């Protein structure tokens, strides 16, 4: 059953689902659960392999890197992984042709375009009645926001909230013949130069239909009271400056280095930064990504096991308070399984690459499983006849 009511910037939808429909849906959820568990195992295993590959590649590269000067060119280091610090210059400064924005010595120029758009936000409230029928009320609220990405309004519940196409998008422009000292920076390395700073773009002229608004370009009725479809554009840039790079030297150019295992290295930081500092920053970045993906894998596995056990709570859904108790139990069981299994998958991946670490993690997984089992065990006294002492399991006192 479905009903709906709407206001100018809000739309509410009410739906009801019977007990047997929910029970059938929970069995379909079991299939999705198995897919999520399988996907989490794949993600966790792949992530650990990726992490080991990155660690090994960075360790090898740090031992192989050689120091060279920015000028003059060092032909003896050709084909080697090198570290170099020096001044970055651009023979032709970066330029946005649409807005005519450029500046002397700009190595990179970034246009950031935002459009004023409708955004749909969803809030859901549900309650279950005796008999297992679940009634859900979804409220869709519409707000106006500036967004760099176009928001697809085709699936909005309210028909009177539609976003127009975005006439201009964000884009990055690179200068021509950008060099670090005597060495040309190839796109794979130049893309890592991200020290962008605000740039007013004062040299540019507003295209037809646009106006200048301080350091921005504006398309629409007026920035004081923006309307849906208005667009604003601002610029940031990377001027010529001192930078430090770890990359491969190939024919007078600095290019992305590829490790024998396939890992790619192109390290760039503004200022004079040592090779050790560049490698340390990259190792920290890889470590952060490893933990983020581990967390994502664990969450997928947890959700998967909760869906697999979903029918257990649904069997009791005809009484709401029983369903709530069962859902809590399902969550506890899912956590009990997911934590050790996540550690097992990580351990197996590391055993395949680095056995010593992997065996340690496997021991930790077994320990976690035993700990969870002990936490969930609750000794129970056996009731006795009146006038007798109840039987207590060994180790317990009355």
pLDDT tens for 107-160 read 999 999 999 999 999 887 766 655 556 677 888 899 999 999 999 999 888 878
- 290-301 pLDDT, tens digit per residue, is 999 999 999 999
Q: Which helix (H) or strand (E) holds 236?
A: strand 231-239
Return d(Cα 17, Cα 152) in angstroms, integer: 29
Which of 121-125, 263-267, 316-320 shows the lowest mean pLDDT across its residues?
Answer: 316-320
Return d(Cα 57, Cα 223) in angstroms, integer: 50
Q: Could you state, in order of their start, the residue ranges of all structural domains in the chain?
A: 1-7+17-85+273-378
> DSSP label at 387?
T
The model's pTM: 0.76
- Count of C-beta atoms within a 10 Å radius of residue 149: 12
Say if residue 194's pLDDT is above 80.
Answer: yes
pLDDT band, very low/low/confident/very high, at 242 (cuts 50, 70, 90)? very high
The CA-atom distances, in angstroms, between 283 and each of 2, 50, 56, 240, 278 are: 53, 13, 10, 27, 9
Q: What is the pLDDT of residue 205?
A: 76
**pLDDT average, residue stretch 387-397:** 45
Q: Are 3 and 14 in contact (CB under 8 A)?
A: yes
Say if residue 381's pLDDT is above 50.
Answer: no
Q: Please provide the average confidence, as pLDDT, over all residues in the chain.
A: 83
19 vs 42, more confident:
42
Q: What is the pLDDT of residue 395?
A: 44
């Amino acid at each position: 059953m479905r009903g709906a009511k709407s206001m100018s910037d809000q739309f509410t939808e009410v739906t009801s689902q019977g007990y047997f429909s929910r029970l059938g849906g929970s069995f379909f959820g079991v299939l999705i659960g198995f897919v999520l568990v399988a996907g989490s195992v794949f993600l966790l295993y792949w992530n650990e392999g990726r992490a080991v590959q990155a660690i090994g590649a960075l360790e090898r590269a740090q031992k192989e890197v050689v120091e060279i000067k920015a000028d003059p060119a060092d032909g003896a280091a050709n084909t080697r992984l090198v570290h170099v610090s020096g001044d970055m210059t651009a023979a032709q400064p970066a330029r946005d042709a649409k807005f005519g924005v450029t500046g002397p010595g700009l190595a990179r120029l970034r246009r950031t375009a935002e459009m004023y758009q409708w955004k749909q936000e969803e809030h859901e409230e549900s309650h279950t009645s005796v008999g297992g029928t679940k009634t859900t009320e979804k409220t869709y609220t519409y707000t106006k926001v500036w967004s760099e990405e176009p928001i697809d309004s085709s699936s909005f519940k309210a028909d009177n909230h539609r976003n127009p196409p975005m006439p201009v998008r964000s884009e990055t422009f690179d200068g021509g013949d950008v060099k670090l000292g005597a060495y040309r920076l190839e796109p794979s390395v130049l893309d890592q130069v991200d020290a962008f700073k605000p740039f007013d773009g004062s040299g540019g002229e507003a295209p037809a239909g646009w106006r200048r608004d301080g350091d921005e370009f504006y398309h629409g009725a007026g920035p004081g009271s923006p309307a849906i479809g208005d667009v604003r554009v601002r610029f940031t840039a990377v001027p010529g400056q001192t930078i430090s790079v770890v990359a491969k030297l190939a024919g007078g150019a600095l290019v992305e280095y590829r490790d024998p295992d396939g890992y790619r290295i192109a390290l760039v930081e503004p200022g004079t930064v040592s090779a050790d500092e560049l490698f340390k920053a990259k190792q920290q970045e890889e470590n952060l990504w490893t933990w983020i993906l581990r967390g994502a894998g664990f969450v997928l596995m947890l959700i998967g096991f909760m869906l697999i056990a979903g029918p257990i709570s649904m069997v009791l859904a005809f009484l709401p308070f029983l369903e709530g108790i069962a859902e809590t139990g399902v969550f506890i069981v899912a956590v009990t399984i997911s934590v050790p299994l996540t550690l097992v998958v990580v351990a197996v991946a590391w055993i395949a690459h680095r056995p010593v670490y992997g065996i340690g993690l496997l021991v930790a997984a077994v320990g976690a499983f035993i700990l969870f089992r002990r936490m969930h065990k609750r000794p129970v006294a056996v009731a006795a006849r009146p006038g007798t002492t109840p039987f207590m399991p060994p180790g317990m006192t009355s």
